[in-house]
């Protein structure tokens, strides 16, 4: 074990970077459209678009975290399906590991959000025209390359 950092891993200059922050997001597809959410003023990345979701809590599976986050933010239930992408992005000196999953609504469409000031249902080809938060860009690129009828959850 390295006595300087207590991690058992070698370190450079005695500093071990923190592990990536595990975050999940839902690519909710309904009627061939994908839900994009604009972050509210006063929040980090305010005014930028993202797929709804949030942090994975200790002991929680990514899928369970996503169901919880969507219930909290949008007040709706979802069925989580296949993984779309996982990518690491450095944001303000911290690495965010965002995993996006396809999801289907298990009821009506959301009409509001606790974290967003606007909800927009987009065709895949229209996604790149929005000002996205950096961590969401890898998924946006993949989804934009799909035909206009993306797979629903």
Residue 127 exposure: Cα atoms within 13 Å on the Cβ side: 28
Query: Does a structural domain hold residue 52?
Result: yes
Over residues 20-40, the mean pLDDT reads: 96
Q: Would 7 be classed as within a structural domain?
A: no
Is residue 35 domain-resident? yes
Q: What is the mean pLDDT of residues 64-89?
A: 97
Give the residue numbers spanning the domain of 137.
Answer: 21-144
Count the domains in the chain: 1
Please report the pLDDT score of residue 22 as a whole number: 97
Here the CATH number for the domain that contains residue 126 is: 3.90.79.10
Pairing label, strands 21-30, 33-39: antiparallel
Whether this model's pTM surpasses 0.75: yes
User: Does residue 58 lie within any of the structural domains?
Assistant: yes
Q: Examine the pLDDT at 118 and tell me if it is beyond 90.
A: yes
Which pLDDT does position 12 carry in this prediction?
59
Residue 153 lies in a domain: no
In a domain, 4, yes or no: no
């Amino acid at each position: 074990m390295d006595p300087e950092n207590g991690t058992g891993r070698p370190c450079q200059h005695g500093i071990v970077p923190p592990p990536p922050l595990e975050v999940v997001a839902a690519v909710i597809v309904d009627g061939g459209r994908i839900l994009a959410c604009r972050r509210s003023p006063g929040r980090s990345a305010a005014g930028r678009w993202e797929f709804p979701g949030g942090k994975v809590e200790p002991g929680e599976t990514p899928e369970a975290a996503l169901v919880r986050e969507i219930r909290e933010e949008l007040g709706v239930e979802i069925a989580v399906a296949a993984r779309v992408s996982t990518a690491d992005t450095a944001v303000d000196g911290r690495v965010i590991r965002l995993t996006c999953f396809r999801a289907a609504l298990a009821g009506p469409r959301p009409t509001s959000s606790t974290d967003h000031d606007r909800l927009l249902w987009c065709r895949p080809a229209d996604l790149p025209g929005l000002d996205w938060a950096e961590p969401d860009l890898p998924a946006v690129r993949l989804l934009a390359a799909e035909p206009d009828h993306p797979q629903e959850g």
